[in-house]
Structure 1
Amino acid sequence: MKLQEIYNLILKMGIDHDPRGIEVVQKQLAKEKKKIDELKEDERKEIDQDRIFNPYSDTRVLFGELDREVKRILVGIDMEVGEVILADRLAEKGKKIDLIMAHHPEGKAMAGLYDVMHLQEDLLAQLGVPVNVAEGIMAGRIGEVRRGLMPVNHNRAVDAARLLDIPLMCCHTPADNMVTEYVQKKIDENNCETLGDIVKVLKEIPEYAAAVKTGAGPTIVVGSRKRSAGKVFVDMTGGTSGSEDAYSKLSVAGVGTLVVMHISEKHRKEAEKNHVNVIIAGHMASDSLGMNLILDMIEQRGVEILTCSGLIRVKRS
């Protein structure tokens, strides 16, 4: 496959499985195009043109010509300078790496991570939180994340890949969309009545079963196994953790249980205070599941996949 074809496939899968629905995403892209078209010529030069067709600011080709042929990819959750050097060492041992693919964003995709968090506003609105309240809740948190990213040396891995001439890209929200849909569907299909039922279903998914063996499997952090699950919301996409103010609104909207990749102690306490159960499914396992659903489609097209950096590879096709 060409690098461009891989990029296009990832974006298509992300959009097709976006929990907001395709129409909402297309509307977002249309607004972005209109905004860019209305800019002055000198202002337009500063804009990342991928925004016209790519709704996910945390997913980008960071280095490499789009017409490069890709036969073998080295994929992992965090692909930083060490993993770039690993790719070069593999080439020395006869396994040439045509593309390094990270799940977590690097480079300008890391710098733009905050922007994809607006997705969470739409998800809160879908759950019954008034959209103006959802936007108000998220505004402060999005600003906090943006400021927190400003001092980060986000281009280190990109620079290393450039010096070694190995294409580098990251695939974040599209993979998170995939795992969100997959896990939500599994829980809904099994009519989980208790938190214990949810944990059981999660452990039947190979990535989570593997994580159990390394001590990083599904864990109830608010509630107990016998507690009623109520309405279950799988919250695994939208860049990074949202606002701690959301839990009171989710409780009022009727959400009984959140299934998340991870949660900070501050957020956990807010969930507990508002009687919202929380199950941590597992960070690396969840990221691996989302990436695997995409990697299967790439592998079907004749590309060899090598994994590292915490990615639990499970093939479904």
Structure 2
Amino acid sequence: MGLSTREIMDASLDLVGWDDVPADSTIYVPGERIETALVGIDLESPELQLAAREGYDLALAHHPAGGRARLEFPRVLDRQVEFLTDHGVPEPEAEEAVAELVERAELASHAANYRHDPSVAELLEQPYMNVHLAPDEVGRRAFVDVAEGLDDEATVGELVDGLSAIPELAAARTDVEVRVGREENAAGEVAIHHAAGTNGGAPVARAYFENGVDTVIYIHAGADDPRKLREEFGDGNLVVTGHVASDAIGMNALIDALEERGVDCTPISGCGIGRED
């Protein structure tokens, strides 16, 4: 029987109890009766050719590769403001912290060749889709569980140990790193800033620190962001979990859900890290 691409999109939403498809997720080439899927963090033109050559019914990517998901990606950045205000950052300050990031994303999406990878999939008649925000929300909730399980007096090092025990992070060749602060510092109030399109950079972490948050968790950080924050905040902590391993948490959960429904998934490009077959 197999599943349709729409049913697979719905399966990603079911992981987190959502009804609406996020702006950063879309079906580029629809398909029916899908029984096999090549699943990766990044599936672009070369991987589409691989999927077509090897006879996969679907190429299922995590990161947006074009179309609506690329053009409308800036819309998901609204969650950055939501996360900031949830931790007591005043809304005008939160919007200011995110403004530069939103502008960069809008300029980048407008300039992108949003037809490149989807057009290759169309030419190959290869069903192709990506699911981004919902799997990231699975990962975010896993991090929240770790943070909420800490004692009130827990240190940053204990937070790192808890995160490092998540199977995907434990199996990764990248470690959970304290980029700003020290492991012996108190973890204090922890903000999990993930599943909002991308990391918030130095401005977002700065807004957290200035409003009483002690520790911020990103899955990745820009090259200059830790330096900027170290120069400004002696007591703030920035913990970075690792991009690919963190993305794999939600994508592995989706693979499990699809395989339970009869779709044989082949993980590549970062998916499958720490997953029990």
State the TM-score, normalized to the length of structure 1.
Answer: 0.80
Q: How far is 1:238 from its partner?
A: 0.8
SS in 1 for 2:136: helix
Query: Where does 1:82-121 land on structure 2 (aligned, <5 Å)?
Result: 82-91=46-55, 97-108=56-67, 109-121=69-81
Which residue of the partner structure matches residue 30 of structure 2?
A: 64
In percent, how many aligned pairs have the same letter?
28
1:141 paired residue among 101, 105, 120:
101
2:149 paired residue among 159, 182, 189:
189
Q: Give the number of equivalent residue pairs.
A: 271
Q: How far is 1:9 from its partner?
A: 2.1
Q: Which runs of 5+ in 2 are unaligned?
A: none
CA contact (8 A) 2:171 2:273 kept: no
Q: Which runs of 5+ in 1 are unaligned?
A: 17-25, 27-52, 92-96
* One-letter amino acid of the structure 1 residue matched with residue 176 of structure 2: P
- Structure 1's consecutive aligned runs of 4 or more residues displaced over 6 angstroms after TM superposition are none
* One-letter amino acid of the structure 1 residue matched with residue 178 of structure 2: I
Change (3 A) 1:250 1:291: same
Which residue of the partner structure matches residue 22 of structure 1?
A: none
Q: How far is 1:114 from its partner?
A: 1.2
CA contact (8 A) 2:201 2:221 kept: no
CA distance in 2, matches of 1:139, 1:224: 29
Which residue of the partner structure matches residue 159 of structure 2?
A: 198
* One-letter amino acid of the structure 1 residue matched with residue 61 of structure 2: A
CA distance in 2, matches of 1:140, 1:204: 34
Which residue of the partner structure matches residue 264 of structure 1?
A: 222
Superposed CA RMSD in Å reads 2.0
Which residue of the partner structure matches residue 221 of structure 1?
A: 179
Which residue of the partner structure matches residue 287 of structure 1?
A: 247
Give per-residue Cα distances to partners, 1:233-277, cap 9 Å, x unaligned: 221111113253333321132211112111013322343223321
2:213 paired residue among 255, 264, 270:
255
SS in 1 for 2:24: coil
CA contact (8 A) 2:171 2:274 kept: no
Stretch moving more, 126-135 or 116-125: 126-135
SS in 2 for 1:310: coil
SS in 2 for 1:147: helix
CA contact (8 A) 2:5 2:34 kept: yes
Which residue of the partner structure matches residue 130 of structure 1?
A: 90
Structure of greater relative contact order (alpha carbons < 8 Å, 6+ residues apart): 2
CA contact (8 A) 1:271 1:277 kept: no
CA contact (8 A) 1:218 1:280 kept: yes
CA contact (8 A) 1:117 1:242 kept: no
* One-letter amino acid of the structure 1 residue matched with residue 161 of structure 2: K
Q: How far is 1:218 from its partner?
A: 1.0
Which residue of the partner structure matches residue 198 of structure 2?
A: 240
1:160 paired residue among 95, 111, 120:
120
